[in-house]
Amino acid sequence: MIILGVGGGIAAYKACELLRLFTEGGHRVRVIPTASALRFVGAPTWAALSGEPVADGVWDDVHEVPHVRLGQSADLVVVAPATADLLARAAHGLADDLLTNTLLTARCPVLYAPAMHTEMWEHAATRTNVQTLRRRGAYVLDPAVGRLTGADSGRGRLPDPAEIFAAATGLLRRGGRPADLTGRRVVVTAGGTREPIDPVRYIGNRSSGKQGYAFARAAVLRGAKVTLIAANVTLPDPAGVDVVRVETTEELRVATVDAASAADVVVMAAAPADFRPATVSDQKIKKTVRNTAPALKLVTNPDIAAELGERKPAGQVLVTFAAETSAEEQALASARDKLVRKRADLIVVNQVGPGRGFGTDHNTAIVLTADGGSVPIGERSKIELADAVLDLVLDRLSLSS
């Protein structure tokens, strides 16, 4: 059973969408709103959507001892939105309503999705409360950046319900395993770069960014502070991740080199364009009367992974990718050469083509290691593949500690 705690913020209405995702995913959900939350969304709404009774106080159905039993029987507790007040009460162990009692008795993973104004999120008291909860083993997502109540914008927006759902189901999949990347800084690149030909056209590739986004989600659930550098990706921002948006390979290079300087782990899941036009027209290139195509001169783009390998500080783990279309033996030989040349620690080799790799929700890979090892990863979801690779990363971080 999943407990969905709902705090008293305007974002409470978005929890209805989160509840729908849980129930459609086959989960039994018991909603526990705070009294303030019920001023935004009434109990009949929660009861109708969940098919379960709804109460906010400890005096309802006392014979069932709900303030103890609900927490004891839960497989996961998700609090969304988690207001500044609710985070403070949870951090200080207060138990003045059914939700805070449940938080005290829960022995399952607890996920908080904060939502509040930027000033409240950045206040020292809130930051301390968040650190306290994380130190105790709770998962507290960083809020998203965007439109808040009224005309205000900034960090404090509730993450997209689909992203909270992804984080919650990820915790269920991990089965309560510890956040083993806590305190680590992880940089992930994702998507495909575009090199302009003129104001209308560009050279690009088929990368959707799904594998890089899966790495970002997996790393956040393992406690890491994640920076995701996204090249032309249209997916919603992963919850709890700082997203930097770029377009060209040079923009990707600048952003990645800067972020990687303080990172413990760098995962180069993006697909940078290998070439770019030598010149870019400032006007749309027109067809000629004779319908002849203009010659397009290309130059080579910088090798970002190789540059990171040269700059790699002691103890940092660099993960690169090799998207291959050749036969396995030839693909592995090519990837092994890339691994050495780029001075990476791991290289993830995967076959791409129609229905494989780019744009799909599943992936199959072989991971080559700098010490000559080879780890096959059978077909699985992209986030499961990301977790498998992060297990290998963690082994190398432990060796360097």
Check if the beta carbon of residue 268 is closer than 8 Å to that of residue 229: no
- pLDDT (mean) for 203-231: 94
Please tell me whether residues 87 and 235 are part of one structural domain.
no
Measuring CA to CA, which residue among 38, 152, 171 is closest to residue 98?
38
Q: Quote the pLDDT of residue 325.
A: 75
Dihedral class, residue 51 (left if φ above 0, else alpha if ψ from -120 to 50, else beta): left
How many residues does the structure list for the chain? 401
Q: Which of 174, 204, 236 is the last residue of a domain?
A: 174
pLDDT at 147: 82
Residue 327 counted as domain residue: yes
| Domain boundary pick from 116, 141, 174 | 174
Among the listed ranges 61-70, 298-307, 386-395, which one has the minimum average pLDDT value? 61-70
Q: Do 112 and 197 fall within a single domain?
A: no
Sequence-distant (6+) residues with CB within 8 A of 288 are none
Residue 396 confidence (pLDDT) above 70 = yes
User: Per-residue pLDDT for 115 more than 70?
Assistant: yes
Q: For residue 205, indicate whether it is catalytic.
A: yes
Asked whether residue 142 falls in the same domain as residue 280, the answer is no
Indicate whether 273 and 317 sit together in one domain: yes
> pLDDT tens for residues 347-394?
999 877 566 567 788 888 999 999 999 999 988 899 999 999 999 999
Report in angstroms the alpha-carbon separations of 228 from 134, 212, 220, 368.
21, 8, 11, 23
179 is a domain residue: no
- In this structure, what CATH number is given to the domain that contains residue 293? 3.40.50.10300
Is 396 domain-assigned? yes
Selecting among 101, 205, 350, 363, the annotated active-site residue is: 205
Domain annotation covers residue 128: yes
Both structure tokens of 178: 């510890």
Both 282 and 147 in one domain: the answer is: no
Interval 268-289: pLDDT, tens: 999 999 999 999 999 998 887 6
Based on the fold, state whether residues 135 and 211 are members of the same structural domain.
no
Tell me which of 174, 206, 239 is where a domain ends.
174
CA distance 389 to 378: 12
Query: What is the pLDDT at residue 60?
Result: 64
How many domains is the chain built from? 2
The pLDDT value given to residue 63: 45
More confident residue, 47 or 329: 47
**Is residue 155 located within the same domain as residue 207?**
no
Residue 124 has pLDDT above 50, yes or no: yes
The answer on 68 and 87 residing in a single domain is: yes
* 220 within domain boundaries: yes
Residues 28 and 108 in one domain: yes
Say what angle helices 161-174 and 210-221 make with each other, to 10 degrees.
60
Query: Range of 164's domain?
Result: 2-174
Do both 241 and 376 map to the same domain?
A: yes
Minimum mean pLDDT among 68-72, 73-77, 374-378: which range?
68-72
Overall average pLDDT of the 6-20 stretch: 96
Question: Does residue 231 lie in a domain region?
Answer: yes
In a domain, 180, yes or no: no
Mean pLDDT, range 87-96, rounded to an integer: 95
Residue 42 banded pLDDT, cuts 50, 70, 90? very high
pLDDT given for residue 66 in this prediction: 53
220 and 320 share a domain? yes
- When mean pLDDT is compared across 159-168, 200-209, 253-262, 350-359, the lowest value belongs to 350-359
**Confidence grade of residue 59 (pLDDT, cut at 50, 70, 90):** low
Residue 223 pLDDT greater than 50, yes or no: yes
pLDDT at residue 150 is higher than 80: no
Looking at per-residue pLDDT, the higher value among 62 and 150 belongs to 150
pLDDT band at 65 (very low <50, low <70, confident <90, very high): very low
Say which CATH number the domain at 163 has: 3.40.50.1950
Average pLDDT, the chain: 90
Q: For 56-69, what is the mean pLDDT?
A: 58
Q: Is the pLDDT of residue 57 over 70?
A: no
Domain membership flag for residue 262? yes
Based on the fold, state whether residues 165 and 214 are members of the same structural domain: no
pLDDT at residue 64 in the model:
54
